[in-house]
Structure 1
Amino acid sequence: MRASLLWVWLCWLAVFYGAWLLLVVGLDLWSLVREHWPMALSMAIGSYAAGSTPMGGGTVGFPVLVLLFDMPASLGRDFSFAVQSIGMVSASIFILCRRQALAWSMLRGALIGSLATIPLGILFFAPIVPELWVKLVFAVLWGSFGIFHLYRLNEITALERAGDGRCPRDFRVGLLSGAVAGFSAVSVTGVGIDMVIYTALVVLSRVDLKVAIPTSVVIMACGSLIGVAVKSLSGDWQPGVFGNWLAAAPVVALGAPLGVFVVGLIGRRSTLLAVAVLCVGQFAWICVAEREALGGAGLLVALMAVGACLLAFERLRRVGLRMAEGGREHSEGLFSRAGRSAIGRNTAKIRPDAL
């Protein structure tokens, strides 16, 4: 990393920790921080996963609050917005300072799409979704994501394409994916757009994880900031968010960038494998914990939803393989035509009397 860029991230940390200390000391909130120390401990793991995988910090914060502490799903969503606005933003600044490669075309499209739909989803869609279905949406999305990674891990980690920063198709895919995920997933659970964009990049565009994961981190940071802005302007934060955020924020500000840095040294395979197992585990946990409310029919619907997500992943994978094969054939065709043209030009230069 260039020292001239590192100072930007260090300044961000200095500003954040100064503001946090001023808030805690000035308002005498140490007791509130101590009261919520379990969340800080949980987010030490969650923030590392947020920086090193396509899962936002809310992917850990949501089930911890909702499943372990038996809090409302709406609190898990609001906490996801709040904690990711520090952790994912810190990781994004770190990524940009390191000048890591990003899929800019899809990132721009996703940002525009989510900017339009996340506020609409928070204000009009999330309030009408029952708490139980919020939990199931989260469980199904990440459970199917984990299963897909478990049996396609070798293929995903072998991808090497850097991506095209000016690809119109990637922009359109990002625009549509960001709009749909922002309205249906982010507004309800606080996470999801990172997973959707990562999946589009890896499965459809066949992009290297070194590009896809940082891109997913940046788009989730933007989505979280949008969520925080909407919740703050509407004054609709759930009680309990502030205390949990106050305890976890100083941890995630360093934890997420640490994940970005460490995974570059140890590789992503083992981290992705561990997180995939956790994603499947939380799906099973929610199904068991809510078995009475779900009943047999609800459980069947959840399993069918996971199956539908896996079919969608596989469909996207086949489309991505066909597009990649078509691109190779196009390149080979251009090369062959260029070669034939060069041979023709060289042949034309040979004088008949020289034969």
Structure 2
Amino acid sequence: MKRLPTAYLLFFALVMPIWLIYMITQNGFSFYNDHWAAPVTMFFGSFVAGATSEGGGAVAFPVFTLLLKLPPPVARNFSFAIQSIGMTSASLLIISLKIPVDWRAIRTVTIGGIPGLLFGAFFVVPLISGPMTKIFFVSLWLSFAFALYLANRKTDRVTTNGLGPLKVVDLVRIVGFGFVGGVITAIFGDGINIFTFCLFTLYYSTSEKVATPTSIIIMTIHTIVGFLLHVFVLHDFQPMTFQYWMCAIPVAILMAPLGAYIINFLTREAIAKFLYITTVVQYIGALIALRPPTVVVLISFGTVVGGFLFFWWLSTIRSGPSPKPSAYVPLNS
């Protein structure tokens, strides 16, 4: 007998009636006249969020800032808001269907990630300009795509289905990556998922099939914290962002879990190729849309090269013998 995604179905049954009542009583369907681009964007973005280590913000942020010319704070807050629906849906589907994840990795990353998110929101975000935020986002992920591509070209690359035995230094490393990823997430509304995905796949040789759903749950936890932070603490959740959010909720709640379901049937090589394509398209699109001045282009190339060297170094410094494939980490571990 096939397992039903009970947790996801309950979430769907809770969210959609509330959304429908609001849209009917508050004339919310009129939002679509000006904000139709949000559901169109998230039709693809939410699928990417559920199917890869990139959150929905990885699509929403560049589209909103580069094509729709919206300020980065609006795009960031929208990313938090829509991921609170889409990635929560995907995570509940993953848990309900018992798709293998590494819960130890999730717990350890969160220890560093939430403090990093708070630190970034209060002390880093105010220092970064709009244009640099946009170009840094796409440059960093392009560098990761290059490193993952080269790592996967190794015919002798062996992957595992979990982090394996961890020493104290490993825990410190994972917490540190979580902190940095939290800071990145505070800037873009997305990032800790793919940043820790880099660590899991390149350093710990975790299979993309396990690292992907693991990173989705990691991003879900941090996107909910980020969403609540901006709504109830920073009080900077803009009315425009709210209207975009309302327009995209039905799409996100369906497409993100669909992506999470489909990805369970793909090979890790197919998942990696999908990541290559999305990051390259994002970067080219950013250069075309922004047409940045020479100095920004140089900074972008420097970020790509520096990030690539870091991620490539990460994939080569793992000491000891090649890891042996192991059983999936149980959900209750």
Q: Same fold (TM over 0.5)?
A: yes
Aligned positions of 1:66-77 closer than 5 A: 66-77=65-76
1:283 counterpart residue number: 283
1:54 counterpart residue number: 53
Alignment partner of 1:107 is 2:110: no
Larger radius of gyration: 1
Alignment partner of 1:116 is 2:115: yes
More displaced stretch, 202-211 vs 158-167:
158-167
Q: What amino acid maps onto 1:122 in structure 2?
A: A
Alignment partner of 1:265 is 2:265: yes
Q: Using the alignment, how far apart are the partners of 1:157 and 1:116 within structure 2?
A: 38
**How far does the alpha carbon of each residue in 1:7-35 deviate from its partner, in whole angstroms, 9 at most, with x for none?**
22211110011111121112121111343
Alignment partner of 1:201 is 2:195: no
Q: Structure 1's 142 and 239: CA in aligned 2 closer, same or farther, altered over 3 A?
A: farther
Q: Using the alignment, how far apart are the partners of 2:152 and 2:69 within structure 1?
A: 33
Q: Structure 1's 29 and 165: CA in aligned 2 closer, same or farther, altered over 3 A?
A: farther
More displaced stretch, 62-71 vs 159-168:
159-168
Q: Using the alignment, how far apart are the partners of 2:46 and 2:217 within structure 1?
A: 14
Q: Using the alignment, how far apart are the partners of 2:172 and 2:155 within structure 1?
A: 23
Superposition CA RMSD, Å: 2.2
Q: Using the alignment, how far apart are the partners of 1:85 and 1:156 within structure 2?
A: 39
Pick one of 287, 300, 303 that aligns with 1:302.
300
Aligned positions of 1:1-355 closer than 5 A: 3=3, 6-155=5-154, 159-164=158-163, 167-168=166-167, 169-183=169-183, 185-233=184-232, 234-291=234-291, 294-320=292-318, 322-325=319-322
Q: Give ranges in structure 2 of 5+ residues lacking alignment.
A: 325-333
More displaced stretch, 164-173 vs 237-246:
164-173
Q: What amino acid maps onto 1:79 in structure 2?
A: F
Q: What amino acid maps onto 2:204 in structure 1?
A: S
Task: Give how far 1:267 is off.
Answer: 3.5
Return the TM-score normalized by structure 1.
0.84
Contact 2:105 2:163 in 1 (8 A): no
Task: Give how far 1:247 is off.
Answer: 1.2
Which gives a bigger RCO, structure 1 or 2 (Cα 8 Å, sep 6+)? Answer: 2
Task: Give how far 1:155 is off.
Answer: 4.9
1:339 counterpart residue number: none
Q: Structure 1's 139 and 6: CA in aligned 2 closer, same or farther, altered over 3 A?
A: closer
Percent identity between matched residues is 29
Q: Give ranges in structure 1 of 5+ residues lacking alignment.
A: 329-355
Q: Structure 1's 161 and 275: CA in aligned 2 closer, same or farther, altered over 3 A?
A: closer
Residue-pair matches, total: 322
**How far does the alpha carbon of each residue in 1:214-269 deviate from its partner, in whole angstroms, 9 at most, with x for none?**
01100111110111011011211134211111111111111111011112234453
Return the TM-score normalized by structure 2.
0.89
Contact 2:112 2:175 in 1 (8 A): yes
